[in-house]
């Protein structure tokens, strides 16, 4: 627990105990009517008072930030940290969104790719993980985009939005400047597609594909694992328009 959250926790316990004790005395000795809403507001004010007085710092991670945002409390980030937000957006009607990622266990290293297919309502249509040989991270990211577009075409999903957390790979595809040895494979993958758009997002809003890609990196070269719907191992997926945080 971070020093800041520890201060808030101690303040909540002491303040809450005091509120309960006063409420009990008023009810017992003065027969006052106790309203929970009023006590909740007072308790919330104690949180804010504690936050104002605390000199502690939060940890710059998703857990601390999520707790503080849910309570509406001011942030006490560690020094020199810049907090940025991102989100996962739904695709348009009739469009499939493909979140992709490539992973290499070393750079050069044993690689793998992963993707998750979702529809305009956010439903998971399926996932794909595949093992690669020795690749760089950049090559794995590029191969992930190519393989997932080819997979979408084979399933009849011809309008697709591809999202990757590799800005370099996305820029290469959008500028027709991918590695020359992948050009033929890319041409074959996209020729059946009616429409493709490719964009980048941060890893914080692409964690499903990241997990699948790491799974692929532990598979033999060429071995492919395809799941229909949401697989059991994918316990957490991106929530549409929820804020995800990056500490820079």
SS (H, E, C) 76-108: CCCCCCCEEEECECCCCCCCEEEEEEEEEEECC
Estimate to the nearest angstrom the gap between the alpha carbon of 127 and the chain centroid: 16
**Domain layout of the chain by residue ranges:** 3-81, 96-240
Q: What is the DSSP string of 100-138?
A: EEEEEEETTEEEEEEEEEE-TT--EEEEEEEEEEEE-HH
Closest CA to 117 of 137, 96, 93, 145: 96
Compute the distance between CA of residue 8 and CA of residue 74 in angstroms, rounded to an integer. Answer: 11
Question: CB–CB of 103/213 below 8 Å?
Answer: yes
Could you read off the pLDDT tens digit of each residue along the chain, which spans 248 residues? 888 888 888 888 887 888 888 788 877 887 777 777 777 788 888 888 888 888 888 887 888 888 888 888 888 887 766 778 999 999 999 999 999 999 999 889 999 999 999 999 999 999 999 999 999 999 999 999 999 999 999 999 999 999 999 999 999 999 999 999 999 999 999 999 999 999 999 999 999 999 999 999 999 999 999 999 999 999 999 999 999 988 77
Which residues fall within 8 angstroms of residue 77, CB to CB, at 6 or more apart? 57, 58, 60, 83, 247
Q: What is the pLDDT of residue 81?
A: 61
Q: What is the pLDDT of residue 80?
A: 61
Structure tokens at 30: 């003065």
Q: What is the pLDDT of residue 129?
A: 98
CATH of domain 96-240: 3.30.420.10
Burial-class residue 25 by CB neighbours within 10 Å (0-12, 13-18, 19+): exposed
Q: What is the pLDDT of residue 82?
A: 75
Closest CA to 211 of 127, 88, 147, 132: 127
Closest CA to 15 of 36, 53, 55, 44: 44
DSSP state of 61: S
Q: pTM of this prediction?
A: 0.71
Compute the distance between CA of residue 14 and CA of residue 158 in angstroms, rounded to an integer. Answer: 60
């Amino acid at each position: 627990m971070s020093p800041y959250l520890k201060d808030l926790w101690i303040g909540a316990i002491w303040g809450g105990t005091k509120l309960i004790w006063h409420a009990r005395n008023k009810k017992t000795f003065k027969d006052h009517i106790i309203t929970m809403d009023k006590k909740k507001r007072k308790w919330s004010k104690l949180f804010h008072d504690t936050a104002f007085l605390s000199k502690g710092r939060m940890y710059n991670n998703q857990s601390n930030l999520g707790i503080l945002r849910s309570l509406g409390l001011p942030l006490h980030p560690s020094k020199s940290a810049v907090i940025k937000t991102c989100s996962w957006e739904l695709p348009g009607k009739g469009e499939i969104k493909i979140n992709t990622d490539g992973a290499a266990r070393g750079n050069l290293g044993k690689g793998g790719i992963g993707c998750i297919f979702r529809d305009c309502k956010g439903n998971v249509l399926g996932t794909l993980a595949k093992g690669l040989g020795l690749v760089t991270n950049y090559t794995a990211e590029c191969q992930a985009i190519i393989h997932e577009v080819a997979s979408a075409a084979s399933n009849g999903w011809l309008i697709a939005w591809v999202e990757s957390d590799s800005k370099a790979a996305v820029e290469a595809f959008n500028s027709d400047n991918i590695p020359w040895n992948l050009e033929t494979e890319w041409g074959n993958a996209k020729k059946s597609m009616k429409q493709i758009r490719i964009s980048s997002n941060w890893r914080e809003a692409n964690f499903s594909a990241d997990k699948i890609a790491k799974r692929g990196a532990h598979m033999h070269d060429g071995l492919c694992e395809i799941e229909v719907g949401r697989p059991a191992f994918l316990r957490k997926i991106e929530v549409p328009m929820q804020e995800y945080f990056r500490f820079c």
